[in-house]
Amino acid sequence: MRGVNSTLDPRRTVAELQELRRLTSDEQGAQRVAFTPMWVKTREWLRAKLAALPLETHVDAAGNLWSTLKGRSEKSLLIGGHMDSVPNGGWLDGCLNVLAGLEVLRRIDAQYDHQPPMTVRLVDWADEEGARFGRSLFGSSACSGNLDLAEARKLVDRDGVRLADALAGVGVAFENVKDSRRELANAAAYLELHIEQGPVLLDLGLPLGVVLGTFGVERHAITFHGQAAHSGSTPMNRRRDAFLAAARMSPEIYEIARRHGGVGTIGSCTTKPGIVTSVVEDCRITLDQRHLDAAALATSLAEARAASGRFASEGGVDVAWERLWNIEPVLFDPRLLQFCEESILETCGKVHRLPSGPLHDAAEVARAGVPTVMMFVQSLHGISHNRIEDTSEEHLELCVRAFDRLAEKTLQAFA
């Protein structure tokens, strides 16, 4: 590849991330919640940086900010991230992707004298986190076409503000958000860099990883129904204890994940009547199972269902399931996975392939049919959505270099 890294300055990315942190964080962490004044200020700051390049910049129908460096071909290489954060969030989640993408744009612009072989576009997705309205991936799902408008129309924040009104406040008309889809018209490939948000790369001692795809998710509520009875007068062998049956699900979920891979979590448990002097009549638990492989996910779910029926009948209680939400696994593009792996190997000599547990905007773009890949950089504590989120400066610089290589390989191959 000619002249790669000639003008790339990963240290500038680190400095800009630090600048952004000073501007948009307090002692509790990052405060760039989507559609708030701080988020607007964040975008103004980003726009000032973008203005130094010969880009066309606009906000689309869903509030996503697009910056386009026109190339010799209309076909576009997309690079994305999100400037919004959760309240009290980390300094890297989302904005690392955007600022690394900005540095890659600078390098491409300089190297190709303002006219790369194909068009390159940087997107800052609106409200990836869903922190305020409880709906993640808002901007990217509007763009991919997967946003359920009827569902989104009902969303309100804690203060009773409707999503539609919050959007109007930043100049976005709710009923038109899916017009964002037109932005993908010439999309040839989509690349996203992200902090891992988990401890896998940390535990392996590796700076960078290739992301295979995002987990499919099955989310259910399981309610066991028994009989309330006095805790003093009811002999142990006469009880129909809903909690006993529900509790047996916990080790079972670990066993299922051990057998088939993936992860499983019982994240909540509520009991009725929920008093110290009564056997539990109703016990409702929630189950969240995730896997990269659709068949393995289906098997894991089927086994959990079968186990719940077994525990119910053994305990003389009933069980009912209610699906809360589900999404299919999203697998990234094999050719881009290869480019990503090569880029990492050329940059630091070691690589690991891993799935992503959390969802990302990249999953939405992939679901829209655009070849997609993500790269992860190590998270120092394996923790995200927390002010202690961190990555070493050395690894931040490495990820910008590797991500730039990935962009260049993609540019050459897809032009």
Give the binding site for Zn ion (CB under 5 A): 93-94
Shorter beta-carbon distance to Zn ion: residue 93 or 282: 93
Residues 233, 244: Cα–Cα separation, whole Å = 18
Task: Using the minimum distance from each CB to Zn ion, give the nearer residue, 71 or 94.
Answer: 94
Smallest separation (angstroms) from Zn ion to the CB of 143: 16
For residue 141, the minimal CB distance to Zn ion (Å) is 14
The label of the residue with tokens 């103004």 reads 44
CA distance 117 to 69: 11
Question: CB-wise, 119 or 356, nearer to Zn ion?
Answer: 356
SS3 171: coil
Nearer to Zn ion, 285 or 374 (CB): 374
What ranges make up the beta strands (E) of 8-87?
25-26, 29-30, 56-59, 65-69, 76-81
Q: Which among 199, 208, 189 has a CA at the least distance from the CA of 344?
A: 208
Q: Give the closest residue to 283 by CA, choosing from 327, 238, 237, 315.
A: 315
**Nearest residue to 139 via CA among 29, 290, 35:** 35
Complex with Zn ion: residue 81 or 264, whichever CB lies closer: 81
Beta strands of 47-177 (E only): which ranges? 56-59, 65-69, 76-81, 119-124
CB of 101 to Zn ion, least distance (A): 13
Min CB(95)–Zn ion separation in Å = 9
Q: Closest approach of Cβ 194 to Zn ion, in Å?
A: 6
Q: Which residues touch 333 (CB under 8 Å, ≥6 apart)?
A: 189, 366, 371, 372, 373
- Pick between residue 94 and residue 213 the one whose CB is nearest to Zn ion: 94
* SS3 (DSSP) at 14: helix
- Alpha-carbon distance 380 to 367, whole Å? 30
Shortest distance, position 291 Cβ to Zn ion, whole Å: 21
The residue whose Cβ lies closest to Zn ion is: 94
Asked if residue 374 lies in contact with residue 331, where contact means CB atoms within 8 angstroms, the answer is no
If the CB atoms of residues 94 and 209 are measured against Zn ion, the closer one turns out to be 94
Q: How far is the CB of 343 from Zn ion (least distance, A)?
A: 20
Other CB atoms within 10 A of residue 94 CB = 28
